[in-house]
Structure 1
């Protein structure tokens, strides 16, 4: 089983709270990927930085991160999974953030687990295998 890495994990690595070697996965055969939504969230953080030097550094880190992983585009197949998951949550009276749900839909579509530090949102999604990194 592969792993989709959530933004919270990448932020933990950047802050020195998680060993970057963890991003290699649990074994040699495991594919570790990013959702394009995770890429967008990282870039959003870059663009919010007011200090030009910090922004340039953060942009380099983000681009290096993107080069390390296959980035999965949010396409019509994943959109279908997202819509189904959102409807299922709504029928249970549960909501989570749009970006998190899109990242989760990517993991569900791939039949991969999701590695996260956000244990509030992702466990609410039935059928999603959540691991804390």
Structure 2
């Protein structure tokens, strides 16, 4: 299977706080993906940038990401996974953010692991394989 790059990783990479190139090199046999949810989060970051220079830099970065990685959709299989996870976490009182839950649902439904800087949030999802990314963060 492959690895889904969470928006937290990509945002940190764009801000020079995560060494994405080194992370990718450390996993040469993996296929990397993003989700439609991550694409939306990244595009939202471009749209809300108040400074033209920041907007231009972000847009270039995001367009490169959208070109470099296959984008996994949220379809019926993912919706079923999402509904079950949502109910399970709600019953336990351990809900995570809406968009994170959507991303986790895509990862679980497709069998991919997830690379994220929000490990504590995603660790609440039973059976979700998380990639350790701590060694690739930058000061």
TM-score class, shorter: over 0.9
Matched, 1:27 2:55: no
Q: Normalization by structure 1: what TM-score?
A: 0.92
Structure 1: 4+ residue segments shifted above 6 A: none
Structure 1 residues 37-89: Cα deviation after superposition (integer angstroms, max 9, x where no partner): 00111111111111123212211110111101000111111111111111111
Return 5+ residue gaps in structure 2 as ranges.
134-139
Equivalent residue for 1:43?
A: 43
User: How many pairs does the alignment contain?
Assistant: 132
Greater displacement, 35-44 / 12-21: 12-21
Shift in Å at residue 15 of structure 1? 1.9
RMSD of aligned residue pairs (Cα, Å): 1.4
Give the secondary-structure state (helix, strand or coil) at the position aligned to 1:57: helix
Which residue does the alignment assign to 1:75?
Answer: 75
| 2:106 counterpart residue number | 106
Cα distance in 1, alignment partners of residues 52 and 122 from structure 2: 34
Instruction: Give SS of 1:82's match.
Output: helix
CA distance in 2 between partners of 1:16 and 1:92 (Å) = 37
TM-score, with structure 2 as normaliser: 0.88
Where does residue 90 of structure 1 map in the other structure? 90
